[in-house]
Structure 1
Amino acid sequence: MDLRHLRYIIASARNGSFSAAAQELNVRQPIVSKRVKEVEDEFGVCLFDRSKSGASLTAAGEAFVVIAQRIIEDTERLGEQTKASGAGRVGRIVVGFYMSLSTGSLRAALHNFRKCYREIDIEPFEAPYTELAAGLHAGRIDVAILLGDPGRCDIFNSLAMRSELLVVALPKDHPLADRPFVYWPELKGERFLVSHHDPGPDIRIILERYLAAPSDHPEILMRSLSRESILSEVGSGEGISLQCETAAGLTDLGIVFKPVHDGNGLTRLGYMACWKPTNTNPVVKTFIDFIDSSTDSFESH
């Protein structure tokens, strides 16, 4: 017995006739009669009372059809689920990112993705860069959101995403606190507090790029502190800090945030989505396509 037998029996029950069932299924009537008889012989029961006026279910036939209908429906759902899974519309994906990106635009993007794909379980994973890269290699992470431009990680596929403004966190009584924005040269001579945690090392590179000169280097103090603790130190007057704009929502620490201007425009920091080329999870393509077509999710508000 296979699914074809069940379909013939269900159609015969629905139509009350083998010939009408054959017409519905676009086969010859003897074929339907033969398949029904094969099942009856296999189980040793009579499923239909046959008469010149048609075929009606026996008690055993009624019980059989209830279960057969359930099997057909479950099989159809299984097929739909399998196709959806293969197309990346159902499944699970692990998305890794720096702890400093756990708020703001990334959170909004993950929320929007969940709304569009309710049958995909998206698992966020916060970790430093080295752990994210190792997770991509090992397959524990499907996609990682990293600081930088595509090509930084040439062993992974990558997609450029919306950039974020760089802002400088200043104590409220700092001489530059009332400016609409700050030029890089105005930050020379300042003491910068930078976290050892990502994206702190990248922030340090940016500071050195804009402020280092042959005769001097910016004063950069690396601290094993969270972003919030770094900003608390800024509020206490221990220095200033360069941050991504997602930090700008933390306004109760006695600090202000000002965009940084390089003379050509406001300074921005790019992010990229990275994934392993050999990753076979079909949800990865769905996620990347969504990010690629919804880059406004990563735009500042």
Structure 2
Amino acid sequence: MTDPDTPLPGVPGPSGPLTRDRLYHLLATGHIALPALVQALVVAEQLNFHRAAEILGISQSMISSRLMVLEEALGVTLFERRRFQSLRLTLHGRAFLDLIAPALLQIGRALGTTDLGRDDRREVLCIGLQSPIVTGALADLLRTFHTSFPEIAFRPQETSPQDVLGDLRARRVDVLFAPDFLFTEAPLHDFLETCPLWTEEMVIALPLDDPLATQNRVGWADLTGRKFLTRTDGISTGLMELADRYLRDVDVPHAIETLRVGRDTLMVLVSLGLGVALTTQSAQGLALEGLVYRPIGEEPVILPFYAAWSRHNVTPPLTALLRLARQMAPQAD
């Protein structure tokens, strides 16, 4: 009897695309084994054989042998081998593991239907936020994700724009949903993967008794002499920097006050008449007495929103969320 931890010799070489029948044959004969798929995912996450071996509690040589068997069976190279045990996912590897990760997650869900070996600990997905989740596309995504994968606990958290790259690089945040202006300096983001998902329009929050509240749309020239309230966290300062370009174009004098407060407090200050604030249309679900929202600009200011994550992060919960996000994203005409 063959030792299950010994790589299988004589893997049949690829002959054209990996058809369903050939896939079934490779799975049935053990040439593609579940341990190899799990090991491939862990290696893809760590991009280092030594760390993957420590996590899995097996030898580096076993992992390396299994991956070579898997690659030969698939007929593609999943990893580029580099010096000092460093690895890089190939395009084929990333595409293959993006498909495999949700499948393994589903196996885990199926095993969870029995009390045998049940683990009460839940997988946790840390989600970075830069905008409200009261209404809109992000709120819909998180609601659908929770319904589809109730065993995965997601932990939303707001971070300042200055911290988001460090949080993604250090994996304190698994994925960030934010406007595109946070990802403009490409050389700083060589470790990032990004995906466009939806758009939102910029709006301005006003006191209900403000004369501009009677208008259907607020023009940039209407804001002469106004004080804009911003906050240190979230996208408030980024929106203000974007608005500054329009305000300068029409030579509108204005003041900016940056506060260390939460979004709710900022909007309360606006409702009290202490200033105006820029936000996105998803914030309009936050209803406060004495507060109104109006579109800003003679032409709509459209903000493309992206998902961003470390390309070294291929955990099944993240892969499942990204797959759902792509499915729910509006399709371009």
TM-score, with length taken from structure 2? 0.57
Q: Which amino acid aligns with 2:260?
A: S
CA gap 1:271/1:85 in 2 versus in 1, 3 angstroms: closer
Q: Does residue 1:183 correspond to 2:227, yes or no?
A: no
Corresponding residue of 1:288: 322
| 2:207 paired residue among 168, 171, 189 | 171
Deviations, residues 65-112 of structure 1 (Å, cap 9, x unaligned):
xxxxxxxxxxxxxxxxxx876644458352322364242232321110
Work out the CA distance in 2 between the residues paired with 1:87 and 1:150.
33
Question: In structure 1, what residue type is equivalent to 2:165?
Answer: A
Q: Once the 2 structures are TM-superposed, how far is the Cα of residue 167 of structure 1 from its aligned partner?
A: 1.2
Identity %: 23
SS in 2 for 1:231: helix
| Aligned match for 1:224, one of 251, 255, 260 | 260
Check if 1:135 corresponds to 2:147: no
- Report how many aligned residue pairs link the two structures: 217
Considering only CA atoms, is the larger Rg found in Structure 1 or Structure 2?
Answer: 1
Q: Which runs of 5+ in 2 are unaligned?
A: 3-99, 109-121
CA shift for structure 1 position 211: 0.3
**248, 257, 275: which one aligns with 2:293:** 257
Look up the match of 1:104.
Answer: 135
Q: How many Å apart are 1:151 and its aligned residue? A: 4.7
Provide, for residues 220-239 of structure 1, a one-character-per-residue CA deviation record: whole Å limited to 9, x for no partner.
Answer: 12122222222222222222
Aligned pairs (5 A) from 1:142-161: 142-148=174-180, 151-152=183-184, 154-155=189-190, 156-161=192-197
Q: Which consecutive unaligned segments of at least 5 residues does structure 1 have?
A: 3-82
Q: Distance between the aligned counterparts of 1:195 and 1:125, measured in 2?
A: 16
Q: Does 1:210 align with 2:241?
A: no
Q: Report the CA distance shift for 1:253/1:225 in structure 2 as closer, same or farther (over 3 A).
A: farther
**TM-score, with normalisation over the residues of structure 1?**
0.62
Q: 1:191 to 1:123 in 2, by over 3 A?
A: closer
Could you say what secondary structure the match of 1:232 adopts? helix
Give the letter aligned to residue 290 of structure 1: L
Pairwise CA RMSD of aligned residues?
3.1
Q: What does residue range 265-284 of structure 1 map to in structure 2 within 5 Å? A: 266-284=300-318
Going from structure 1 to structure 2, the CA distance change for 1:215 and 1:178 (only over 3 Å counts) comes to closer
